[in-house]
Chains A and B, each alone.
Chain A
Amino acid sequence: MIEVLSSAALATVQDLGRTGSLRWGVGTSGAMDNLALAAGNLLLGNALGAAAIEVPVFPFKVRFGEDCAFALTGADCAARLDDQPLLPWWVHQARAGQMLTLGLPQGGAQRGSRAMLCLAGGVDVPEVLGSRSTQLRGAFGGHEGRALRRGDVLRAAGAGIGCKSGFGLVPPALMLPLQQDGVAAVRVLPAAEYLAFEPVSRAAFWAGEWKITSQSDRYGYRLEGEALRPIAPMELRSHGIVPGVIQVPHSGQPIVQMRDAQPSGGYPKFGTVIEADMWRLGQAPIGSRVRFIETTWDEALAALDEVRAWLDKVARMVELHRGAPAAGR
């Protein structure tokens, strides 16, 4: 078991999401950086979608009540186990009584914003509607349907079991980089109401830099840039939306729906961030800038294949290494 020592909340238990539940009006949830979650689980020999702790606010501290292997992925946050500095994107072994501290994200403009703390066997919380992700709006799933608080105790399903540690991965931000003119970028498919916006607004959307404002969280990112103007005012009935959808409210400043997005909305849809790039946006810090690259359905599928190929390669290499005898001369 591990005990949460930080009072700065907003850390949540997440897996790959409650997919398939939108038809019941239940949002998807899940890790904002699903690639960091999957990679951390692979490092530990866990199932790809085992639940982990997503940490967006630092410092974050936990104490291990028993021996437990853990992997740190996502934002590099100068982690320490007691006083010992830890490498990022790495599997470590904690002993009973040791304290893990996650500090501020490192890396300047390239820094991430969310660390993933993956535990051997995954965080053992009940599955609700097929997922262990915290559904904050509905107050179910995860740990008691809420963000973690000081004093919470979580159990790792694989604690106390021997697990190869002491190795890591080159982070996907370096293996699958994506920038436009030196600015972090994500690919976007034009959506249903795209052509109902002024041509000059459509051009500005692709050409401009968009600031991620402080009104950005797991529900959605409010962006700031050149206002997007419709050719004529639009009034739509509420309709189903998914994470990644970019809505444009009357202000003309777009909102990107993120993992905790509600399942319906009524604002015009300008575009959709492709599934393969949602992890990039999930790591973009508040105050940073992002560019949008227009893409096609075929390119979006190819991008997803590229992500899967990276994960497959990681899985194969990690499995070989975990099966090899301990190095030593």
Chain B
Amino acid sequence: MQDIALQTSRFAAWLGDTDIGLFELRTPQGTLRLGRQGDDIVELPAEVAEAETASVSVHAPSVGMFLHNHPLAAAPLVRIGERVDAGQTIGLLKIGPLLLPVTASQAGIVDGFHAADGLAVGYGAPLVDLPPL
């Protein structure tokens, strides 16, 4: 699924330019389902279910394993209660050997983690609660 994982954002970008409501890709490695949630394209679980989203959440930019800290670091990238700037890296997604940043969409205060350190998450999954300042 790693190759698909990397291409999810590409599929989502294509989908965003169409009026398609549901996109399903089946490969020998697994199935990817993308759907709409307002103006956003999100990954759907195997059975269609409406994931709850708060507008204050930071979402997964890709499929991957969510990491709270860099693999070489003991300390997390951000802690609950910490103030972060827009664009700041607040977590990482690990896809095989690759690490992608999860960045704050706006300045805010970290309110909580939706996904535990090391959890496999889908594209668009809410990861961090970040109410704006």
- Shortest distance between the CB of A219 and any CB in chain B (Å): 29
A89 to B61, CA, bound (A): 20
- Shortest distance between the CB of A81 and any CB in chain B (Å): 13
Residue of B nearest to A87 (CB): B70
A317:B99 contact, CB within 8 angstroms: no
Cross-chain contact of B98 among A107, A318, A325, A327 (Cβ < 8 A):
A318
A174 to B101, CA, bound (A): 19
Cross-chain contact of B59 among A106, A313, A325, A329 (Cβ < 8 A):
A329
Report whether over half of chain B's contact residues are helix, strand or loop; otherwise say mixed.
mixed
A168:B99 contact, CB within 8 angstroms: yes
A325:B9 contact, CB within 8 angstroms: yes
Cross-chain contact of A321 among B13, B40, B73, B100 (Cβ < 8 A):
B100
Q: What's the A-B contact tally at a CB cutoff of 8 Å?
A: 67
A170:B9 contact, CB within 8 angstroms: no
> What are 29 A-B pairs with beta-carbon distances under 8 A?
A76-B72, A87-B89, A88-B70, A106-B72, A166-B101, A167-B98, A167-B99, A169-B98, A170-B94, A170-B97, A170-B98, A170-B99, A171-B71, A313-B96, A316-B3, A317-B2, A317-B6, A317-B98, A320-B3, A320-B6, A321-B6, A321-B98, A321-B100, A324-B6, A324-B10, A325-B9, A325-B13, A327-B61, A329-B40
**Chain A contacts to B: CB under 8 angstroms:** 76, 87-90, 106-107, 166-171, 174-175, 310, 313-314, 316-318, 320-321, 324-325, 327-329
Q: A167-B100, A169-B97 are in contact. List 5 more A-B contacts (CB 8 A).
A: A76-B72, A310-B97, A321-B98, A324-B6, A327-B9
